Every structure is written in C-alpha cells, then in structure tokens.
Structure 1
Amino acid sequence: ERFQQLLHRKWQQCAGTVFEQTAIVANAFGELVDYIEQALHESATRRLQRSLLARLTRLDCFPRLAALFQERLERRAVRIREVSRRAAREYADSVFNQASRHFKRSRDHYVHIIERHLERFAEAYVVTALQAFVLGFTLEEIVDDLDEERALTLAKRIYADLQREVEQHVTMVLTLLLGKLMAQRRLISARLDRRTVESLTRRFLQKHGWDILRPLIEETVLSLFLRQFQREARNNLQRWVRLASSREVIRPLKSLSTLVPAEFEEQLCTAGVLFGATPFQEALDWAARRFLEPCYQQHRKVLLIISDGAFPYAQGALITARLLKRRGVVIISGLIHRQRLLDRFCRRAPQHWPPGARCMLELASELPDEEGPAASPPLSPVPSGKKCCYQLNHADLLEPFLDGLLTDPVVADG
C-alpha cells in the first residue's frame, strides 16, 4: 500500500501536467441544455411574434375574432416552450447515454492503449525497484528512481492516442444525433447555430470522456505496476534471497510478504525457499568464501549452523564443511527437531538417525579435549562426546549457548 501511494504520487508529478489540460470544470452538460432550449425558444418566439397570427390578434374591429387568434397564439407559445425544453433535454440525454455506452464498451480498448505504452517501462522499473528493495533501499529512494522524463514522454503518447479516440467518438455522436435535433427545431420554426451546438456538444463529450478516462488511466497504471510487481515477486523470490545473502543484507521474508499481496504467502513458504528447499548449499558456500578471504586469516573462525538438516545437496554441503574444517574453522551444529533425538539416540550409531539429524552431526567439528563453553554447561546431550552438536529446540537454549560461545570461543586442535 505504501509503494502504491508513493508510486501514484510520483506518476501524478510526472504525468499530471499532461492530463490537466483535459480538465473541464464548467457544467458542460447544463450549458448545452440551456443553450439549445434558449436558442430554440427565443428564435421560435421571435418568429411567432412576427407571424400573421400575431398580427391578427390586434384586429380591434373584430374583438371576438382577435380573442380567438390570441388563444391560438398562446397555445403556440406554450408548444414552443415545451418543444424547446424537451428537444434540448432529449438531445443532451442522448449525447450523454451514447457517450456512456461507448466509453463503457470501449473500456478494454482504452486499457490496452495505456498498457501498450507502459508495459515495458513498468516491467523494467519493477525489476529494478524490487531488487533495490531487497538490497535495503527505502521505498522513497526506489520511487524517486523512476525515470521522470520517460514517464512524461509515455504520458504524452497515451494522451495523444486517447484524445484521437475521443475525437472519433465526438464525430460519430454529432453525426448520429445532431440531425435529429435539427429536425425537431423545424417543428416550431426555430433556428439553431449549428456551429455553436457542435462546439458545446464537443465540449461536453470531451469533459464526459476525460472524466471517465483520467481515473481509468490512474487505475490501469497502478494495476499494471502491481501485476508486474506480483509477477516479478513470484518468479524471482529465490534469486532475491540469494542476492540478499550475497550482499549480507538482512531482509526478513516477513517484510517481503508485507510488500506483496496476501496470496503470495504460499509462494514465500514453498517456492524453493522454505520447508525442505532451504538454500543451504549457497549459504554455506558464501560463508566459505568469507572465511577464505586473506583479510580474515588471522581471525579465529567459528561457524554456527542452526537447522533441522532438511536441505538438499547434503553431500555437497558436507564437502564444503570438510574443507572448512581443514582450514581451522570450527563448525557447531544446533539441531532442531520435533523429537528429542539426542536423548534417544545418544548411544545409537549415527547411521540409524533421521537423515537431517545425521547430516547435522556430520557437519559438526570434533569436540576439543579441553573443557570449554561448548562442553559446559551441557545444554543438551552430546551425541558422541567428540562432536560440537547440540539439540536447540527452544529459544531459551540459544541465549546461554551463544553467551558461552562468545565469552570463550571454541578453538580447533592446533
């Protein structure tokens, strides 16, 4: 939601000036109705007042006949007023209904126009934005990275294409409806300035069309970016996890899940990242590269692994671990399992252990003969008396374990 808000604000900054020219504040519908009604009524009334019927009402020598003509004149005036009002309203309503049906029917076409211009731009931007987020940049920095010049250019192209669509619709509506209005004016012998009617009709259709298109553009732009956001999140989550680990950026999966919609919770937990697909080999390889860097050769090196052991490529992990131990790295295994394995299997051969527990045992370094924090206090049974392997099923076991480790680190023989 925060990303959407910032992106919407940025888009308004880039494209707002382009679409501001479409804003018509005036009541274009009311102006159209008022002009037609007034023009019909006034022109027909003037013609009526100059007609023979009007002159006959002034026959003073025939008062009864003049009264009869006056009554007919008044009925004609009422008819002019009613026809003027009805014709103006029917024309404006027809224009409105025709426009509404057209814009509703053409909605998908307009969306396609907008997406056609923005799809590649959105795809490239979202790839960059999400990678920057994984690396630890703030949303404000990411949104500010939007190419404003490119966005403005695309907004102008969208405006130009949609404006052509609106103009075509205006021409179509005028062709269909203006002839009917002109036919109605002849019923009362009225006159209309066709150019003025066309101008007011065009103004109303422009306003009505862009009142629909402006929010449609905003909705489509945000929807397009969000779909790209979702697609990129679904397809590249594992790559981002590896990228974050390679750059030593701590970005919890929970914070990623708050950025993508709720339906991606399953993706976050099953798409090759969690529950049996932990990228353990990659993590161990990155740790190995750090331990082997020349600038760290004088440091005492201890690697603490906390896992259930349920990760792929166990053999490759064991190879890396064996090479690290040859370089003097002490590996301490913190086994997590739903059963208290070390109580039950302390005296059994490791080959009878569950595969995950067996792998964690094999990863661990040999326990030094001298007493140290890894051997005392005994947080949980040591399976063989020779391995730095402990079962750490509860958070309260971690604190004293780490306190002891950091107070007097375990050192390998020699």
Structure 2
Amino acid sequence: MTDIDPQQLLIDLFKIAVATADPALVLPPFLPASPLPNNRPLIVVGAGKAACSMAASLEQHWKGPLKGLVVTAYGHSEPLERLEVIEASHPVPDMNSELAAKRILSLVSNLSVEDQVICLISGGGSSLLSMPAPGLTLADKQSINRGLLKSGADIHEMNCVRKHLSGIKGGRLAQACAPAKLLTLAISDVPGDDPAVIASGPTVADPTTSDQALAILEKYNIEIGDAVTKWLKSPESETPKPGDTALAHCRFRMIAAPSQSLMATTVRAKAVGLEVLSLGDDLTGESRELAQQHASLALAISRGEGSIQAPCVILSGGETSVTVRGNGKGGRNGEYLLALVDALKGAPGIYALAADTDGIDGAGDNAGAVLNPDTWQRAIDRGWDAATELDNNNCYPFFSDLGDLLITGPTRTNVNDFRAILILPPARHD
C-alpha cells in the first residue's frame, strides 16, 4: 500500500461502510410481490434518518398504488413522488415529531385483514416519532430526553424509557395496525441489532418494563414530574410483551446491519495489503474510555507487541456514550478521537477516523473527524490542550480549528458508528 494516502484510505473505508447500507441497494430484495390483490394500495409508514431514502427505494420498485407518510430528520429528506415526508428534530423531538406520530397512527387505524402495511424503520426514529403517552406532554418528553442524552445512559436504557413514555413506540404502532398485515423493514443502528431497540421498536414486542424505566430515570437522577411518575406506575404504561397475540399479524426483516458494513470494510482493507483486527460492531461504553483502550492496543501493535503486525487497521463499530461534564460542543465520535489524541500524544505512524454513518455526530454538521500523527503537535502549536478540551466535552471546535472534521452531509442511512485506526510500520513513520 505504498502509493495509498493513509487519511484517504480511512475515508474510503468509511464511505464503503455507508454505501453497503444504502437503501437503494438493500431494500428491494425484501419487498413483497406487487401489486396487492384487488389493486389495494400499499400503506407505507416509517421513521428514522434513513426513512426517506428507504421510501424512495420502495417507490421505485413498487408497481401498485401507494399511500403513506414517513418522518425523517431535518436535512435528511429527498423528493418523493407518491408518499409524503415530514422532517422533524433529532435527537430531541419537536412539534413535527408529535404531528408525524399522530398522522401515522391515523393512517393505520381502522384497517382490515386485506390491508398490507410496510413500516420503514431506522436509527433516529425514537426522536422523530414522538407521541406522548396519555397525560404527558411533548415538553415532558423533551426534558427527559435532554437529561438522558447528557447522562451517559446507553441506547438500551434510553429507549426503555422512551418506549414507556410513548403512545406509539414499544409495539404500540403494531397494535394500531391490527388486523392488517404488517411488514417492518429495518436498518439497524444499535449494538446487538435488537429489533425492540431500533427506533424504540414501534412494531415489535417490548421485553422491558415500566419499573425498569423508572429505575433508569432514578439511576441517572433525571428530573421527572408527578405526571410522569403517575404514568409509569400505572398498568396502562406497560407495553406489549413477547408472545402477545395482538402482534401475530406482524413480520420483521433486518435489511442492513453494522456487521455487514464492517465486513465490507474488512474486505477492502485486506485487498490493499493490510492485516485487520476487527473488534466487533457492537462496542459500547464511555467514548473516552474506549479510546484509551484502543490507544493502548494501537501502541502495542506499533511496538511489535500486538496480535497483528503493521501495516494493519483496527476496525470497530457500535455506539458509545458521553457523560456531559463541560459546556463544549461535539458528539461521541469526536469525543472518542479527542481522547485518542490525548492518549497517543503524536505517536508516529498511527492514523484514525471515527464517524457516525448517518453523517451527523451529535448535533453538529460533521460525521466525525480524522486523526494524523501530527494532530497532537499541531493542536499544541495552535494553543489547544487535548486533555483540557476533553474535560469540557469540546471536540468540535478542536478538530474544526485543525481542519480535521469529516463533513459528509446526511448520508440517508444509519448503521451506527464506524471507527478505524491505521498503524503503519516504522519505515512509514511521519
């Protein structure tokens, strides 16, 4: 790989991870035969950062009549010919999130056994499809969501709470579709690919409980009002459980997952002569702590003490968390890389990239960032101290000033985070 630019190679691997989960590629094989009997319209609903691109792929391949609505994040839509799209807020819901949820429930109500519903689900759907449970308000959900996002809670914990405060998630959308046939096509953005966690599982049974939701809120000291407490302690707050006959009309198909994207990048890396150490597609935990572990691993390999030898690449996926302690700006991938900068301290021959495959890291306009062997010294020269900025959760300005942000725009798919650490032998040290 002597003629390959290290940073460009990492960016190319990220692009391969994204392209592998393109709805135009992965969705068509899972569509049922069209058109439906008696030329009935297929009813399409969906939520997530990939929902609009999934709907566009469905429109292109479905030969019969269609009607429906999908909701996606601001900036993630594209023109649709036969279906409607609403844009709403992520990661904290807004009025459009509530409007979309109500309209989707209305679309699937009062259907018959002859009707067919397809639900297009992807990451981000928890925020985008937000209908407060009875007695709760959108403001209640917004406040709790903000608290969870700053708390360090993982996605399973956050979505347990979200499901039990919702009138549409946690299997309730599936209940509303009955007795119509319901097929869910999903792109996974969660570690473990659990259908009940992707977008808070609006069309699948929920194994978690209201008591667990309350315990999570207490664990992270999230302030909740009396209305939330009263709701979570009522039997009505419980979601449909596995084995519930009310969901017998439902089928679920995973059309793309992080493991597929990680495998595609592995194939590419080997093709250019790299050894590959894949740590898995389901890594979780604090971003900075994971970065410290990966820095230790990369340094050991660089010294010739690892399980593989340079030139090589360490690949991983999953979804880390960030406990917000400061007032800075950034996302979990930027935080991971900032911690990596602090741990590596300019170690020669080590490059890295961390980015969210949806193109948005946190609430910024970047997918993530890149790290070069000279990043640490360039930062010092410009007056930055990586450890100080890490304490302030301030990764975005750090990498922005260095010109090392990775900005792709919305990718219109989402198979979670992608991380790659490239280690070159001494002869290629910078």
TM bracket, shorter-chain basis? under 0.3
Greater helix proportion = 1
Q: Which has the larger radius of gyration?
A: 1
Greater strand proportion = 2
TM-score normalised according to structure 2 size: 0.24
TM-score normalised according to structure 1 size: 0.24
